[in-house]
Amino acid sequence: MDTTADDTPTTSGGEGWSEDMELAPAHPRDAEATEPDDDAPGERLQKVLARAGVGSRRVCEDMIDQGRISVDGQVVRVQGKRVDPDTVVIAVDGRRIDIRNDKVTYAMNKPFGVITSMSDDRGRPTVGDMMGDLATGLVHVGRLDQDTEGLLLLTTDGELAHRLAHPSYEVKKTYLAQVSGSVSRDVTRRLRKGVELEDGPVVVDSFQVVDTHAGQSVVEVVLHEGRKHVVRRLLDEVGLPVNRLTRTAIGPIELARMRSGTIRKLTRTEVGALHELVGL
């Protein structure tokens, strides 16, 4: 009896099984068995992610399967990959996260009248007083004047503090200022073009009028300058004396709905965004 090619066995029982299986779609978990990383130094990636608060280990494993995790810019799909949390850069859905446990960073809404210092020999209220038992090892990132309110960062990470405050990293700060008078188009043009102060020119990154009412205006100023009283001096130079000044953002970190005098710990994602901003 004739047989077709499909009816003719090509191998004896058991032979060719592995070849046939290679044609079937691989389950994501199969990668763990084919590409073990047990001999590599470091910790398993899912353990590092879970400790960083991304989710349970099972959730982190699912995220790895889905291609949502990258290490040093490379998407990881292999379970069990080992990493050194002190040296690698890990991102979730393209957003870098902070995975170190030995550093902490806080955001404070500094009230009017508080000194940006961890202590004061004249007995004036300080941000150190406000931090209380949390103050150990903290440094403030830059300064806010005593009569300026708003967002202040404090951290135990000295290198992060240095880079955020150093002008070469050009970290943008956003301020809301209540000023006397209305803002003419000429003033707006001058500010965007650059204003010469006694210690050199200042160019804003952006400037806009938020509100005008009863002879006063509220303006938003974004700049990466860190000179003393620079916002007040800048606006005074163009005829807009400041009555009240509040910093509302530092880079990607925003004051948002924090009430005056409140403190919150930054999330690992927020700290990761700051690291990315200054190249850490």
Residue 265, C-beta contacts closer than 8 angstroms, at least 6 positions apart: 104, 105, 106, 107
Q: At what angle do helices 158-165 and 268-278 cross, to 10 degrees?
A: 60
Query: Catalytic: which of 37, 62, 145, 205?
Result: 145
Q: Which of 45, 37, 74 shows the shortest CA–CA distance to 62?
A: 45
Which amino acid, 145? D
- The distance of Cα 43 from the centroid of its chain, to the nearest Å, equals 24
Q: Which residues contact 7 (CB under 8 A, 6 or more apart)?
A: none
- Whether 179 contacts 216, CB under 8 Å: yes
145 is catalytic: yes
Contacts of 216 (CB under 8 A, 6+ apart): 178, 179, 180, 181, 243
Site of tokens 């163009």: 238
Q: How far apart are CA 85 and CA 268, in angstroms?
A: 13
User: Which active-site residues does the annotation give?
Assistant: 145
